[in-house]
Chain A
Amino acid sequence: MISLTRPEPTDRNEVILDVRNLRVHFPTPDGLVKAVDGISFQIRRGETIGVVGESGSGKSVSFLTVMGLVSSREAHIEGEIIFKGRDLLKLPQEETRHLRGKEMGMVFQDPMTSLHPMYRIGTQIAEAVLTHEHTSKKAAMKLAVEMLGRVGISKPEESARRYPHEFSGGMRQRAMIAMALILNPDLLIADEPTTALDVTVQAQILDLLDRLKADFNAAVAVITHDLGVVAEHCDRIQVMYAGRIVETGHSQVIYYRSRHPYTWGLLQSIPRLDAEEMHRLRPIEGLPPSLIFVPPGCAFHPRCPYVMDVCRTEVPELGPAHAFNASACHLPAEEKDRIFSQILAERG
């Protein structure tokens, strides 16, 4: 039996982001790339969701679209992105620009290339302030220095005058976080924030995100391909595959009672330091699908060890957006539980 020990304080909080049926299709000479193909989810204030999936699952694109960094010139965007009550897709570009950096912030994967190499750290952070607030350069810089301190960078005044190449990877990422949070946004999106960092630093960054989320009372989305990374830090986990959400739920549930073969595959491919000698990692068979020619029915069916005939023709539904646990799979619930218990047992 699984006990759900983690409280869920966020269920009754304000919905910051409400995405409904979002589709993002890119026309290319080779065909229409359906990067995001009908996803719906919500993020509440105070909540951290982990968005997990392989490359090409649509996890980054969906949030880039939320931020307004995917233009309608490059892609067909359908659906609704309701941020604090307003549908961003219906707003003019100038208005969404005012929200970017101020009410929602984004941190990217590679902090070395994500920071401009020719401007000082402090200047770049202060720029975020100056873009949205009428204030003096001095005041903005003061704020930047303060923020650098809050993200755990020592000697913030000196550090503000340095250039990105003078920092270590971890420090750069902290600086980026500072830049994203300086104006107290309600939503922070972190796209693979730790992928380019050492393992020891990863934990620090994730702890930092937790702390800041609490301080700022924001909502956080952490995008990653590594289920292990988000185990401790996310309230909810959302698994994406081929542009769709295949499973979503509270994080404890995902780890201890997940109900989708893909998720099972992900769990089984996480290396564990405490695994027995003979326990081999089991990668998921096959390759990620083309987003132009998405397999009919369940997109995962060509790789699914439990595939049934119906999977090949009918697209499985996910269920309510903020459910305790929902999965898009045709397997009956008892089957799912039985298989998963087996897997848990093997993992020991």
Chain B
Amino acid sequence: MGRYIIRRLLWVVLVVILVTFFTFVIFFVMPPVDPAILFAGRAPSERLIAQVRESLGLDKPFFVQYGLFLKHIFLGDQYGWPGFGMSFVTRSPIRENFLGRAFVTTQLAAGAAVIWLIMGISIGIISALKRGKWQDRLAMGFALFGVSAPVFWLGLMALYLFWEKLHWLPGTGYVPFGEDPSQWFLHFLLPWVVLALLFAAFYARMVRGSLLDSFGQDWIRTARAKGLPERKVVYKHGLRASLTPVVSMFGVDLGTLLGGAIITETVFNLPGLGTYVVRSVANGDIPVIMDVVVFGGMAVALMSLVADILYAFLDPRVRYT
């Protein structure tokens, strides 16, 4: 198992390098905005543009820039390790903003994950057990809604209803836990639920399908033939076998979110990686974009690895492969 993990970790590194390389290419070969012109202001003369280019380090050849970027990530730069570099917009080290924002996004993702797992799995189970009956229809109707309703619409509606009209919840923004635990929770509540809804819907459908699939398996019949009470048949034998696809999906979903839940963060004005990277794309702040890409790529790759390990833990048939 140990060797397997080490091999996978090396793959993670390779994947991250590939992803950053392609991102770098996109932003340098065909940038949506040329940062040099953008940061040169209102009346960019050739000379001014050249000055800006040099000050941002954009005058060096492509591979030198990419090489420096990699070197800083792995070996650190003058601001510490890992080297996140300097933002074009703030002209100061990215690290001071980055870790704080990553933390906010992590809190958002983790909280939503807990909710959607609980919601999705329970709804999926109920749906599978009451297949065809009104509970099933209601649950799948909810799933259809959750999957179809755009996140930004849900978010804006939720804000409108619960904050503006009913005054039940405070509005947008982020309050650190240390500052005021109850406000921290209340501010996160809507974003958590809105973000979780989409995933819960997906997971409910998946768990339902997977569970129904499980129920058709022969070992369920054996379990009943042994005289097990139905509850044990469903949970111990049925659910256990249907959890593996959930685990796989969860790894990728959570990993992706850790790279920034862009829409939710924007609607609820959460200072996470999502809003950070979106503004940086509009502002042409390439170092930030690259850093978020690295982080996001790593998050997905690592979470996939964790999911795979968990999968192997659950299903002995895939171990040591």
Contact = CB atoms under 8 A, between A and B. Distances in A.
Are A and B in direct contact (Cβ within 8 Å)?
yes
Interface of A: 67, 69, 97-102, 105-106, 108, 110, 113-119, 127-128, 131-132, 163, 165, 176, 179-180
A117 B221 contact: no
A131 B226 contact: yes
Given A118-B240, A128-B226, A131-B228, A110 B317 contact: no
A24 B305 CA distance: 50
Contacts of A67: 225
Given A113-B218, A118-B316, A100 B225 contact: yes
A113 B217 contact: yes
Contact of B222 (A108, A132, A163): A108
Contacts of B317: 117-118, 163, 165
Contacts of A110: 218
Contacts, number: 69
B316 A165 contact: yes
A109 B124 CA distance: 30
A189 B260 CA distance: 57
Interface string B200-233: 0000000000000000011101111111110010
B59 interface: no
Contacts of B53: none
A99 B225 CA distance: 10
B217 A69 contact: no
B26 to A, nearest CB: 43
B239 to A, nearest CB: 11
Given A67-B225, A115-B219, A116-B219, 10 more contacts: A97-B229, A98-B227, A101-B225, A106-B225, A113-B218, A115-B222, A116-B223, A117-B241, A127-B226, A131-B229
B8 interface: no
B232 to A, nearest CB: 8
A127 B228 contact: yes
Contacts of A116: 219, 222-223, 237, 240-241
A88 B246 CA distance: 40
27 contacts: A99-B227, A100-B226, A102-B227, A105-B225, A106-B225, A108-B218, A108-B221, A108-B222, A108-B225, A110-B218, A113-B218, A113-B219, A115-B219, A117-B316, A118-B240, A118-B241, A119-B240, A127-B228, A128-B226, A128-B227, A131-B226, A131-B228, A131-B229, A132-B227, A163-B316, A179-B222, A179-B226
A115 B241 CA distance: 12
A119 B229 CA distance: 18
A118 B225 contact: no
B41 to A, nearest CB: 63
- Which label, helix, strand, loop or mixed, suits the secondary structure of the B interface? helix
Contacts of A131: 226-229, 232
Given A98-B227, A127-B226, A131-B228, A114 B237 contact: no
A186 to B, nearest CB: 14
Nearest 6 Cβ contacts at the A-B interface: A101-B227, A100-B227, A101-B226, A113-B218, A116-B219, A163-B316
B114 to A, nearest CB: 24
B212 to A, nearest CB: 15
A135 B227 CA distance: 16
Given A163-B316, A165-B317, A114 B229 contact: no
Nearest to A100: B227
Contacts of A108: 218, 221-222, 225
B314 interface: yes
Nearest to B244: A118
B210 to A, nearest CB: 14
A128 B225 CA distance: 9
